[in-house]
Structure formats: structure tokens, C-alpha cells
Structure 1
Amino acid sequence: MVEERIVETPATHTTVVERSGGGGGVAIAIVLLIAVLIGGYFLFVNQSSESAKNNAVTSAAKSVEKTADKAGDAIDANK
């Protein structure tokens, strides 16, 4: 919260304005920025991990498909 105190000196026509306030808003902004950066990092790492899992499953499925095709061809050849 910002507090202002105005002191006027009529003899010299001088006005002094003093403002005092905490830096709480800046501290909160910094903490929020750090939290967003950390959250983004974990999201990126997790997404990369999910992508690797998906690629492994796709590769395994293709391998199974090729093996099934070979087995089917072998069965057709023995008929």
C-alpha cells in the first residue's frame, strides 16, 4: 500500500511529497514468473517423454504388422 505525505512550507513556497510503499507487488510478480517458468519446463519435459512413448508404441505396432504379414504369406504359400 502506498502512503503519501505532503508537507508544505508557506514561507519558502516549497512542497515536499514523500511516498513510501512496499515492494510486495514486484516480489509477487517475480515469484509468479518463476512458477510459470518451472511449470513450462515440466510441461515440456513431460510432453517429450509422452512423444518418445508414442514413437516406441508406433514402432512396435509396425513390427507386429510386418510379422503378421509374413505369417499370413507363409500360411498362404502352404495351402
Structure 2
Amino acid sequence: MADEIHTTRDPDGTTHTTTVIDREPRRGGGIGVGLIVLVAIVIAAFFAFQFLANDKTETGAITEAAQKVGDAAQDVGDAAQKAVD
């Protein structure tokens, strides 16, 4: 950054001062950061949905296994009842 100060003097003796401030041009860094944040959100959502899908699958498998255990217990109970009769 370079600042320049220009002073001009009129023939009647008055002076005028002009200051020029040279700044770096702004770059589109905000767009890059926004894009990175968006990609991070999409990746997080993907893994979250994968976790939820696995949780539902696991719950379904446990429910099915419990049902099979219940059915087997019912069969054992029926066999015991027939053995007593």
C-alpha cells in the first residue's frame, strides 16, 4: 500500500491538498469460504443420514431376533404343556 499526498498552490497563494490511498483489490475469499462451509455441511448430512439408516437397520434386526426368541419360547411352552398333559 502506498499513500500519496499531492499539494497544489494556486497563483493567488491558496493551497489544495489531495491524498491518494492505494489499496489492494478485494478478492473473492468470501465465496471460497462459503463453498468450503457448504461442502462440510453436505458431508456432515451424508454421514448423519448413513448413521440414521444404520440405526434403523439395527433396530429392525434386533426386533426380528426378539420376535424369533419369543416364538421359540412359545414353542417350548407348548411342548412342555403337551408333555404334562
TM class, shorter-length: 0.7 to 0.9
> Cα distance, 1:53 vs. partner?
0.4
RMSD, matched Cα: 1.8
SS in 2 for 1:14: strand
Among all aligned residue pairs of Structure 1 and Structure 2, give the percentage whose two residues are the same amino acid: 12
Unaligned segments of structure 1, at least 5 residues: none
How is 1:29-48 mapped onto 2 (pairs within 5 angstroms)?
A: 29-48=33-52
How is 1:19-58 mapped onto 2 (pairs within 5 angstroms)?
A: 19-58=23-62
> Cα distance, 1:63 vs. partner?
0.8
Alignment-derived partner of residue 74 in structure 1: 78
Q: Can you list the C-alpha shifts for 1:33-54, whole angstroms capped at 9, x where unaligned?
A: 1111211220222122112101
Q: Give the structure-2-normalised TM-score.
A: 0.72
Larger Rg: 2
2:36 and 2:24 mapped to 1: Cα distance? 24
Q: Give the structure-1-normalised TM-score.
A: 0.76
**Deviating more after overlay: 66-75 vs 7-16:** 7-16
Detail structure 1 runs of 4+ shifted over 3 Å in the superposition: none
Residue type matched to 1:8 in 2? I
